[in-house]
Structure 1
Amino acid sequence: METPRAGSVIDGFTLTERLTSGAMATLWRATHPDHGMPLVMKIPILDPGADASMIVGYETEAMIHKRLSGPHVPRFVAAGDLARIPYIAMEFVAGTRLAEALQSAPLAVAEVVRIGIAISVALADLHRQKVAHLDLKPQNVMMAKGGAVLLDFGLSRHSELPDLLGEESSAPMGTAAYIAPEQVLGDRSDPASDIFALGCILYQMATGEEPFGRPATLPGMKRRLYHAPRPPRSLRPETPAWLEEIILRCLEVDRRQRYADAAKVAFDLRHPEQVVVARHRRATTSPGLGKRILARFQKRDEAEILGPSAHARREAGPSIILVAVDLSGEHDELAAAILAETQRLLAAREDSWLACLTVLRTEIIRETQTVDEHGRSLYINRLVSLKDWARPLHLREDRVSYHVIEAVSAADAILNYAGHNDIDHVVLGARASSAVRRHLGSVSTKVVAEAHCSVSVIRVKGGRTN
């Protein structure tokens, strides 16, 4: 793919002006003869050696953004094919990023309230569309003429779609200054995480400081599970008690004590006379050293501190089938047999959904190759091949997800993925036997021996073993 520049034409979109861009993507003003409105094209930076999470993030954003509507998100226009050139084309939103306004923080109370209401309304609309943003921060909020517009859905979660990011990793995902406690522990299921981030933004607008700083380590991020931020009124005494109450309720670690609905945050900001200030919050100074030390020895279990998640409260979902297929190009007959067995299993239970996985082998001693002879990313090539392999299944987008796992051991990658995602059934192939394979053991043998679910092993010769 050639480097985009002013005047480049991509799928009928003409790039006209490069906008301020980040490390993950370049942003361009664009035009298209079929769309009269101002447009922006977001082109992810997917260099051959790019981290796989950037590719998954692009897939996530494209999958979710096109399902969103309303005045609080940019209107989605089109997405590019990963096999050719990935991009997301959307409506250009005129306005000011909240990050720019925060350069003048602390802001006047009236301004904190105005902006807080606008973000709360936007979040409530997003949550009604079954999406949790999960990376709410000032850089991702545009203050436009009609209110707040939320940007960047690369870390988001749609409750009715496969969670591409969460399925591959339980590591914290988000921005350290605004990430919710449950996200620190790997839970991406709850829209209440956005309300915690909203509380961080309100705190920053009101005081000029971030409530938890910008920790660079996991232990640093975990401190918010046990250490409350300084009350806003201890930093800025003129902050009304009712506003402090709203902010600190957004920042509750226990989700049962946090606001359950962004619309309620907006209501309280509009009606401060109805906000009841909790008795334990009337003191405006932080606990003394003795109390803080005592609290360290009285830590409850993390799950108890956080309260039940939305995921835990939901009923068990449909059966999940994991199919692991070798797409290195040497086993086309086996891949076809795996496809036929997968189709049979999916037909037997229409509420099941499929996770397609292929392993890209990495090297321990020598440097791992990341590009092919034409300079194209092996990761992207394999992801495209995986989608091509599954295309004959004709599955809806909400019933299938695709994962390329980079690993030294294919068996360990399959087992780790299955364990992390509570997989109900695994389908994989077994190559022809050999003396070396019998001595060292095969991928299928290890998966059958160690998986905590049922496994179907497909063989082209010699039949199938369940």
Structure 2
Amino acid sequence: MVKPIIAPGLVIDGFTIEERLHRGGMATLWRVSRADARMPMLMKVPKYGEGDDPAAIVSFEMEQMILPRLSGLHVPAFVSAGDMSVQPYIVMEHIAGKTLLARLAELPLPYAEAATIGQGIAAALDDLHRQHVIHHDIKPSNIMFRQSGEAVLLDYGLARHDQLPDLLQEEFRLPFGTAPYMAPERLLRSRSDPRSDLFSLGVLLYFFTTGVRPYGESETLRGMRRRLWRDPVPPRRLRADYPPWLQEIVLRCLEIEPAWRHPTAAQLAFDLGHPDQVKLTARSDRLKQDPLSTVWRRRFNRDLTRPTAVSSVAGQLASAPIVAVAVDVTEGSASVNDELRAMAGRILTTLPSARLACINVLKLGRITLDTTLDELGHNKHIDRLAALRHWAEPLKLAESRLTVHVLEAIDPASAILEFARSNHVSHILMGARQNSLLRSLLGSVSAKVAAEAPSSVTIVRPST
């Protein structure tokens, strides 16, 4: 069967071709319409003519398999797909606006703005990884932001779904991707680690905050392989005012070994959203690249550049959750706090990559004028931060695994829920208050959190 020439006015399976929006190396994008459509749509058609790259049709086949399985605001909504033997295509939601590629003329961006962009992308990656997918092509042209603020990840032709066959891995020997953003382990044919996406996001953050790419523009395989043993120039050497907390995050993303990066996209998003809580290491004030002795050791010790096997995306996420524990620091809460600490300790012992966020709600009055000082003249907020750290001391956690947060709110339950949603918390621990008249009339904080939380909730009662 002769395939039709795609042109404006052509109708394919009820979709009317309207306007060509983009012509790329592997596919063409068209604006399309249909009488019953409730949203703007575009059609993606692969290039599969004489002389075209055979990888184009394989990557399109991967996208046809993956996109219908995805949902949520961080991906374009799937509408329909065409039969590969007749006319291959994918129809999806057309998102208004431009990709981050349009921002390149403005680089370098202000640090706070770049961190906010990075936090949004990390949140989108966390959502994608929870759906068993590694994107493998994070770059400015594949990222948009909805008018409501959510980052949207585009183009799943190079993606890996860990519950589907990986056709690119099975059929091709060379790695596919965009050279400046490709993680080192990808060069060793490893496509199973979600932390590869965190490396690519680190490249983007470096580029957006310095104006230069950390590994240059090399497209040759030989040039790309240098990142297996050579670290980038620290951003603070390029910009003297570069914030230490941001360099800590960016260089951690760009670590050669995936195990040295953030364990999950959720933990990366957490750091970008809480710069004051970032634990600084030697990375933060580095001005020079690693010495040549370290570089040569990496280059000739193959054990240092051999990728570690990752059983599954879900397994990697489950091993490194963000656990939030709501601690009451007022008098009379010691017994339940002891039980909370014991429960947190058991969870953290079994999950050495987990992060603990200790939170306390400083309740504000609905109509009263609140003061920042107590009757002794102490700052309430600072005192509670200190109390949270004191509560966590017996757990003996590394600084990188612990953060403390005092939330000021009228409604404690709503504050805890909002913290959990915005910080991608996987598990909430909190204590249950004893019976009281107020509790029976208004309902308990723990009951509301348990009913509405986006994650697992464990309610702890004091032992009797």
Alignment counterpart, residue 170 of structure 1, candidates 165, 168, 173:
173
Deviation at 1:284, TM superposition (A): 1.8
Deviation at 1:293, TM superposition (A): 5.7
Name 1:223's counterpart in structure 2: 226
Q: Per the alignment, do residues 306 and 91 of structure 1 end up closer, same or farther by CA in structure 2, a change over 3 Å counting?
A: same
Asked if the contact 2:145–2:152 (Cα under 8 Å) also holds between the matched residues in 1, the reply is yes
Alignment counterpart, residue 144 of structure 2, candidates 139, 142, 145:
142
Q: Per the alignment, do residues 312 and 62 of structure 1 end up closer, same or farther by CA in structure 2, a change over 3 Å counting?
A: closer
Name 1:249's counterpart in structure 2: 252
Name 2:263's counterpart in structure 1: 260
Distance in 2, Cα, partners of 1:281 & 1:244: 5
Question: Given the alignment of the two structures, is residue 274 of structure 1 paired with residue 283 of structure 2, yes or no?
Answer: no
Q: Per the alignment, do residues 298 and 23 of structure 1 end up closer, same or farther by CA in structure 2, a change over 3 Å counting?
A: closer
Asked if the contact 1:177–1:215 (Cα under 8 Å) also holds between the matched residues in 2, the reply is yes
Output one character per residue of 1:42-77: Cα deviation in whole Å (capped at 9) or x when no partner.
111110332221111110010001100000100000
Distance in 2, Cα, partners of 1:177 & 1:303: 24
Q: Per the alignment, do residues 100 and 302 of structure 1 end up closer, same or farther by CA in structure 2, a change over 3 Å counting?
A: farther
Deviation at 1:304, TM superposition (A): 2.7
Deviation at 1:283, TM superposition (A): 2.7
Deviation at 1:173, TM superposition (A): 1.5
Distance in 2, Cα, partners of 1:257 & 1:199: 13
Q: CA RMSD in A?
A: 1.9
Distance in 1, Cα, partners of 2:298 & 2:25: 42
Distance in 2, Cα, partners of 1:305 & 1:297: 10
User: What's the secondary structure of 1:173's corresponding residue?
Assistant: coil
Structure 1 gap ranges (5+): 316-466
Q: Which amino acid aligns with 1:207?
A: T
Q: Percent identity?
A: 47
User: What's the secondary structure of 1:256's corresponding residue?
Assistant: helix
* Residues 267-346 of structure 1 aligned to structure 2 (within 5 Å): 267-287=270-290, 291-292=291-292, 295-296=295-296, 299-306=299-306, 308-311=308-311
Output one character per residue of 1:164-214: Cα deviation in whole Å (capped at 9) or x when no partner.
111112311211000001101111111111000000000001101111112
Name 2:388's counterpart in structure 1: none
Q: Which amino acid aligns with 1:301?
A: N
Q: Per the alignment, do residues 225 and 166 of structure 1 end up closer, same or farther by CA in structure 2, a change over 3 Å counting?
A: same
Distance in 2, Cα, partners of 1:71 & 1:314: 20
Output one character per residue of 1:290-340: Cα deviation in whole Å (capped at 9) or x when no partner.
x3266325635344335523149999xxxxxxxxxxxxxxxxxxxxxxxxx
Q: Which amino acid aligns with 1:226?
A: W
Distance in 2, Cα, partners of 1:280 & 1:150: 29
Asked if the contact 1:181–1:306 (Cα under 8 Å) also holds between the matched residues in 2, the reply is no
Q: Per the alignment, do residues 181 and 294 of structure 1 end up closer, same or farther by CA in structure 2, a change over 3 Å counting?
A: closer
Name 1:126's counterpart in structure 2: 128
Name 2:32's counterpart in structure 1: 30
Distance in 2, Cα, partners of 1:5 & 1:302: 52
Name 2:66's counterpart in structure 1: 64
Deviation at 1:278, TM superposition (A): 1.0
Distance in 2, Cα, partners of 1:177 & 1:298: 20
Output one character per residue of 1:127-172: Cα deviation in whole Å (capped at 9) or x when no partner.
0000000111111111221321100000100000011111112311
Q: Which amino acid aligns with 1:126?
A: L
User: What's the secondary structure of 1:86's corresponding residue?
Assistant: coil
Distance in 1, Cα, partners of 2:311 & 2:173: 15
Q: Which amino acid aligns with 2:301?
A: D
Distance in 2, Cα, partners of 1:222 & 1:4: 40
The TM-score with structure 2 as length reference comes to: 0.64
The TM-score with structure 1 as length reference comes to: 0.64
Deviation at 1:222, TM superposition (A): 0.8
Distance in 1, Cα, partners of 2:27 & 2:307: 36
Asked if the contact 1:133–1:156 (Cα under 8 Å) also holds between the matched residues in 2, the reply is yes
Structure 1: 4+ residue segments shifted above 4 A = 311-315
Distance in 2, Cα, partners of 1:132 & 1:255: 14
Distance in 1, Cα, partners of 2:6 & 2:307: 47
Distance in 2, Cα, partners of 1:148 & 1:47: 34
